[in-house]
Structure 1
Amino acid sequence: MFEVLSIILVFGALVFFHELGHLVFAKRAGILCREFALGMGPKLFSFKKGETTYTLRLLPIGGFVRMAGEDPEVVKINPGQEIGIILENEKIVRIIVDQLRSHPQAEVISVERIDLDKKLLIEAYLDGELHRWNVHPQAMMVSHGQEIQIAPWDRQFGSKTVRQRATAIFAGPAANFILAFILLMVMALSYGTPTNLPYLGEISKGGPAERAELKEGDRILQVNNQAVQSWQDIVTIVSQSPGQELTFIIERNKEQFTVPLVTDSLDVEGKAVGKIGVYPPVTKEFGPSLNYAGETTWQFSTLIFKGLGMLVTGKVSMDELSGPVGIFNYTYEAAERGMAILLKWSAILSINLGIINLLPLPALDGGRLVFLMLEAVRGRPVDPQKEGMVHFLGFAFLMLLILVITWNDIQRFFF
């Protein structure tokens, strides 16, 4: 159950932080965010807080933040249509689109003119006279029993500057890099990070060091009369002495003593290498942990970019890629190996999600950023219908690619 729960928590956290990045910076720009969803498909659970509905959906294949203006409004009111209105302080706060008999408190009018985008007004004939009402900028429309908040132009995605929109889009991938850094930081503070000090770390059971009664935390002063200043000095001497007796001068509790031991000889790529069964010393201090998290985030990012380059150049084939099934399997294996491995694996996945989303491909955040760059260069936005079509085709291609990779995963792991 721990492994299964780990898979759910890992993927939930990756998607949650990604979409949270979009949500936070979209709201900071003043964009109306209608929905924050984890998963796709039918709703399993939802609640509303403020202007946003938070939803858990059935299919665990991603998530989204639905911003006003990104999609066509689903409810339209045309001149000549009968609607119901409810006023507070001489402003319309509720617009009843249908099922008018269910709202006897509403004033029924026949719309002559309506502008819920910029001027926020409705004109209609009432008792033979033309009346004009101002609409509250947070008015609700009621259609088929569902309430939908109107989105004036200044609350829509398209009304914001290129910089504000780009920030809201880039914030998703950026949140994944931040999450990876946090996970690595937690791992380092909890389990320690390797240091180069001349101390012994964890002692392997049954190894030469345990048989010689060495202990974790022992300080190594000399090995075979050679002074050592770092852990790397110890590794160099031991690795070059396979199957040989070495004499260690140890300091423990401010006392010094001599310990002889014979190294094990291991074959590494056809070469004999000495080992004594000791892990490097670790520290749980904040400074080294901070450095470790930053350096490791950078290293993982570099490796993933190199892997993408090898895929583009053909050095890595599509058959070697893993989709959802493969990632679930590897996450299960990481959970079996312990929390430290799971934290590091989760950080890798988070960085990978951030980088993949920044690729300049339609339907991904990187593709949307490309269109914003074009808008900045041209001085005007690309036709929304053309951009929407490009993203739709890109999404269809990505879904097809995921199906192909998933089939490869199924064959690799189950056949």
Structure 2
Amino acid sequence: MNTFLSIIVIFGLLVFIHELGHLIFAKRAGILCREFAIGFGPKIFSFKKAETVYTIRLLPLGGFVRMAGEDPEMITIKPGYEIGLLFNRAGKVDKLIINNKSKHSDCKVIQVEKIDLEKDLFVTGYVADEEGLVTYAIDEKAEYVHDEVPMQIAPLDRQFGSKTKLQRALALFAGPMMNFVLAIVILTFYAWFAGMPVDEALVGDLTDDGVAIQSGLESGDRIVSIEGQQVATWEEMTSIIQSSPNEPLLFEIQRDGERFEVSMTPQERVGPDEQVQGVVGIFPMTEKNVLGAVAFGFTQTYEFTMLIFEALGMLVTGQFTLDHLAGPVGIYSYTDEVAAMGFLVLMQWTAILSVNLGIINLLPLPALDGGRLLFIGVEAVRGKPIDPQKEGLVHFIGFALLMLLMLVVTWNDINKFFL
């Protein structure tokens, strides 16, 4: 249950921050954002603030910001339709009643002859008890009302496609960018809570079963030399220890101004590079430093980014296969292991997932932010936009292929973890 809650909180945070980036930059560009959603499927909870409906949906597998102009309008009004009109104090139409006009006894029913809801904002038609065609101006924030549900119209200057290439690119790039920002913030707080390692040969914590604690070393001891070789930094000290597994070493220790010698034999341990290393069971001394924590947030985010790009490169060259990828089931299993290691490790894991989400979304693949950015780049090169229908088809096919890949990866996860 704790793992399930951790997954919900982590994914909710990652998706929220990602979509918040899209929302902020889209609104700054003047794009009408109809909906900000966390999850897919049926709505569980929703509320409206200003022009945007904020929703939480049943399936917590992603999210979206529905920007006007990205998809065809769900409601179209054609010549011959009868609709109801309600007016604001300025005399402009502020509500277009599509159906259930009988519930709005004060509305003026018009048989539409011509209507423009994007550029000139007017409706022309025939009204009972009035001779000839009549024309009414429509307010730029007017709403459709269909089945008693209002939805704001989207004039051309409020649509995604009407904005400059830079504004559209920023609105798309802002989502992945916010994932990198989130990783930096998380890792900065991690470094502050955990403390920054001091680059001196000072003993911090000790493992309960290490040779250091068995030899009487204590937190705060300074290692002056090993086998007569002076050591001033943590790196100098650990390089000697790691290169001497199962070899007795004479350590000169300084404690409270006094020096003494201790003999220790580093134990064997297989390192990340599959090489045998020596360890004595000590950790570096740490300190809390705001600037150091911020620097750690940036540098660690950069290192995670490089590692993920390296893994993607290995996937392209065939060194990794689909079996190495993890889907929702795999991530759930890994999160279960990480959560058992404590909150600080879970923070690091969240930062890694955030960087991963940012990078994946920037890949130039259809249906992803990177794929849509690629289309804007092509538009900039050729001097005119690509046919929206063709672009939409490419994104649809890309989305279908991504869903297929997700199913394959999830099946692999199930085989690895449950069968």
Query: Under a length normalisation based on structure 2, what TM-score does the superposition of the two structures give?
Result: 0.94
Retained in 1: the 8 A contact 2:223–2:251? no
Q: Aligned partners of 1:128, 1:138: CA distance in 2, in Å? A: 29
Alignment of 1:137-152 (within 5 A): 137-152=140-155
Structure 1 residue 398 and structure 2 residue 402: aligned?
A: yes
Q: Aligned partners of 1:264, 1:291: CA distance in 2, in Å? A: 32
Q: Aligned partners of 2:269, 2:378: CA distance in 1, in Å? A: 57
Aligned to 1:110: 111
Retained in 1: the 8 A contact 2:46–2:56? yes
Deviation of 1:240 (Å): 4.5
Retained in 2: the 8 A contact 1:265–1:272? no
Retained in 2: the 8 A contact 1:209–1:261? no
Q: Aligned to 1:214, what secondary structure does the other structure show?
A: coil
Q: 1:179 aligns with which of 179, 182, 193?
A: 182
Q: Aligned to 1:129, what secondary structure does the other structure show?
A: coil
Aligned to 2:288: 284
Q: Aligned partners of 2:315, 2:336: CA distance in 1, in Å? A: 26
Alignment of 1:6-405 (within 5 A): 6-88=6-88, 89-126=90-127, 127-241=130-244, 242-252=246-256, 255-266=257-268, 268=270, 273-405=277-409
Do the aligned partners of residues 391 and 267 (structure 1) sit closer, same or farther apart at CA in structure 2, a change above 3 Å counting?
A: closer
Deviation of 1:322 (Å): 1.1
Do the aligned partners of residues 15 and 243 (structure 1) sit closer, same or farther apart at CA in structure 2, a change above 3 Å counting?
A: same
Do the aligned partners of residues 203 and 96 (structure 1) sit closer, same or farther apart at CA in structure 2, a change above 3 Å counting?
A: same
Q: Aligned partners of 2:415, 2:384: CA distance in 1, in Å? A: 48
Structure 1, residues 334-383: CA drift from partner, whole Å, max 9, x if none? Answer: 11111121111111111111111111111111110111111111111100
Deviation of 1:76 (Å): 1.0
Q: Aligned to 1:73, what secondary structure does the other structure show?
A: coil
Retained in 2: the 8 A contact 1:212–1:259? no
Do the aligned partners of residues 273 and 28 (structure 1) sit closer, same or farther apart at CA in structure 2, a change above 3 Å counting?
A: closer
Deviation of 1:214 (Å): 2.3
Q: Aligned partners of 2:45, 2:382: CA distance in 1, in Å? A: 43
Deviation of 1:70 (Å): 0.5
Deviation of 1:267 (Å): 5.3
Q: Aligned partners of 2:417, 2:290: CA distance in 1, in Å? A: 40
CA RMSD, Structure 1 to Structure 2 (Å)? 1.7
Aligned to 2:415: 411
Retained in 1: the 8 A contact 2:198–2:284? yes
Structure 1, residues 64-102: CA drift from partner, whole Å, max 9, x if none? Answer: 100000011111111221111111121111111111101
Retained in 2: the 8 A contact 1:208–1:261? no
Identity %: 51
Q: Aligned partners of 1:272, 1:154: CA distance in 2, in Å? A: 64
Q: Aligned to 2:282, what secondary structure does the other structure show?
A: coil
Deviation of 1:262 (Å): 2.3
Q: Aligned partners of 1:52, 1:214: CA distance in 2, in Å? A: 61
Retained in 2: the 8 A contact 1:218–1:250? yes
Q: Aligned partners of 1:35, 1:228: CA distance in 2, in Å? A: 60
Q: Aligned partners of 1:333, 1:192: CA distance in 2, in Å? A: 23
Q: Aligned to 1:311, what secondary structure does the other structure show?
A: helix
Which residue identity does 1:32 align to in structure 2? Answer: L
Q: Aligned partners of 2:366, 2:347: CA distance in 1, in Å? A: 31
Structure 1 gaps of 5+ residues are: none
Deviation of 1:301 (Å): 0.8
Q: Aligned to 2:4, what secondary structure does the other structure show?
A: helix
Q: Aligned partners of 1:274, 1:309: CA distance in 2, in Å? A: 32
Which residue identity does 1:217 align to in structure 2? Answer: G
Deviation of 1:271 (Å): 7.7
Deviation of 1:239 (Å): 3.5
Do the aligned partners of residues 273 and 370 (structure 1) sit closer, same or farther apart at CA in structure 2, a change above 3 Å counting?
A: closer
Structure 1, residues 242-272: CA drift from partner, whole Å, max 9, x if none? Answer: 34252323133xx223142423431548987
Retained in 2: the 8 A contact 1:222–1:250? no
Which residue identity does 1:197 align to in structure 2? Answer: E
Deviation of 1:61 (Å): 1.4
Do the aligned partners of residues 260 and 173 (structure 1) sit closer, same or farther apart at CA in structure 2, a change above 3 Å counting?
A: same
Q: Aligned to 2:310, what secondary structure does the other structure show?
A: helix
Do the aligned partners of residues 239 and 400 (structure 1) sit closer, same or farther apart at CA in structure 2, a change above 3 Å counting?
A: closer
Deviation of 1:273 (Å): 4.6
Q: Aligned partners of 1:315, 1:227: CA distance in 2, in Å? A: 43
Structure 1, residues 224-252: CA drift from partner, whole Å, max 9, x if none? Answer: 44332111222233335534252323133
Which residue identity does 1:334 align to in structure 2? Answer: V
Deviation of 1:275 (Å): 2.8
Structure 1, residues 120-173: CA drift from partner, whole Å, max 9, x if none? Answer: 111222311322211111111101111000110000001000110011001111
Q: Aligned partners of 1:93, 1:8: CA distance in 2, in Å? A: 40
Q: Aligned partners of 2:342, 2:183: CA distance in 1, in Å? A: 18
Q: Aligned to 1:205, what secondary structure does the other structure show?
A: coil
Q: Aligned to 2:374, what secondary structure does the other structure show?
A: helix
